Structure 1
Amino acid sequence: MNKSLVDVGPLVLSLPAIPQLLILGIIFVLSVLLNSLSIICIIGAKAITPINLLIINLAISDILYALTIPMFAVHIVTPSWPFGRLGCQLAISIDIIAMIVGVYTITALSIERYIDVRERNRRYNDQLKLFFVIFYIIILWIFGILFPLPMSLSLFVYSREKDKRIIDCRSNWTSNDLSHYVELKFVFAYLFPSIITCLFSFRLILFVHRWSMKSRRLSSTNNSLNIYKRRATTLVLSIIISFFVLWSPLWIFQLYDTYNQRGPTIYIQILNFITIVFVHTNGLLNPLFYLLLTQNFRDYLKINKCFPWKKSPKYSQTLVYRRKAITNQDQTITSFRQQHT
């Protein structure tokens, strides 16, 4: 099994190229546009809250991951790698960085929602929470950048002996080394953060269920307050569920392909393309959830059209709450919405 040269480039699919390119092209355009739209609207609204910072970070990782689509699309058309050694290193690095940043951001969202819904008296300083989120994001990006370095440094371009015109992106690691790296990536880029996410999501669902049962006895003000928390919780849970549904097939396929010795059959190629479509589709679903499940986000789109310099007399520059004349009954609601999505 040990080989000095192991091809790590994407499979050159024998499937029809045009349908593949069309599907990937649509996903690429929508993913970049929708995620950019969510970032622009949040920043334009100056809605800098912990959950919105995490949403922005997730959108950036989704855009970054979408940037690997053009390279993969080119490799569908031609069996030769046209981007050189630097392009080979960038493709692998961006793929892993975006994957790690995305999954750990989703983990942070599950923790943030659980802490938030349990928080009754807002005991924690909001500025301190922002500091921790910013610090977490910085550390996460450092970890994401460092993780693929060993792999990317092992990559080089290699001309095939039978046809010198065809260039492959390869690693000088043995197949055993690559298998161990896939296992390591599975543990740190999927299994470990997924366990934490599932734990906090399960506790969150249980708490929200108990909370909903008790909410019938609360006043109308508290009921309105609970609605806003439920919306933010529904948003995060939707992101988490879509992540597991669309990313799990990729990891199952990667682990199977790592230990499969039969080579890239037509069925393996089809599964490879389907899993790639799934994970990139997840990148455009996240901003769609934000658009569909956040009422004030849609209000901001309609009124300001995502241009921060076009202010509305009815709304201040914030995405998460309306600033109107406040009655005593609305005071608690407005105070809450000032800090939450």
Structure 2
Amino acid sequence: MNRFSYARPGSVADAVRELAGHPAAKVIAGGTNLVDLMKYNVERPTHLVDVGRLPGLKEIEEAGEGLRIGALVSNTAAAYDERVKERYPLLSSAILAGASPQLRNAATTGGNLLQRTRCYYFYDPATPCNKREPGSGCPAKNGQNRILAILGTSEHCIATHPSDMCVALAALEAVVKVVGPNGERSIPMADFHRLPGNMPEKDTNLHADEIILGVELPEPRFAKHYTYLKLRDRLSYAFALVSVAAALEMDGDTIGEARIALGGVAHKPWRVEEAEMMLRGKTADRRVFAAVAERILEGAQGFGHNDFKVDLARRAVIRALSQAARGTPQSQTDKRIQ
């Protein structure tokens, strides 16, 4: 691990000043991702800004007709909060599908949003990686790519976003609240994470001198017909090969509004609004779900070892929409696929 300086600011304003004064600084809270990356010599910050004790960021509060979840709220606290479970059960389910209880106790809302994308080559400093060293190449395209992306890739990167929580937040159309030297701003979840394009080293649109204050959830709409389906190599403590957050408004067998986001398939949670619109006014039917799945996966491409993900994602979308329409969400306790 490289040498670094350390600061524990007492206010949000002080934290912003610390970041602005150290261009190579990183924010640390729970540290469940950053500390690993530092140990692997992937992240090499010269200055750490510990925001773990900042006041006002550990609360879950009413926000208009929705909820605001502070950046320092632990994943466990968010998942088991009664308001979240009752009004946004999709989010609670997605959080409980991830990691382990020990990690969820330490991991925070802000940290989950800032998880680095997953790729064997990114985590191995002995290999080239455009994300770690722009211009060095992407050996994953012709190498070990089983866990990697099939959508939104570029010639520079095929890494995947690992978060479960963020897939649900994308489906729920949450808004990320951040603050920097120029004040506060709001970033819709759809715009928070980036596709790799020509700049795979940037995972998000958060500025280097900004910190996350929290996440705001809109008016609850999908508390009955929802599911978070996570397909992985083992039933616990594993990242998704494919995951689907599906949320529907139903009038009998007829679908009103629909939200669908996929995880494990792209550099960010993957949504296709045109596919969601295909469900409006339609009877919940497997043939309709299959057409929606085809639209979501339009242009999907494997790179050899991950070719199977295209069909796996197609079947996962159909299964998730079927679960949501029936109002029988996937259990995160009994993880056998329903």
Instruction: With the length of structure 1 as denominator, give the TM-score of the two structures.
Output: 0.26
Which structure carries more strand by proportion? Answer: 2
Which structure carries more helix by proportion? Answer: 1
Higher relative contact order (CA 8 A, sep 6+): 1
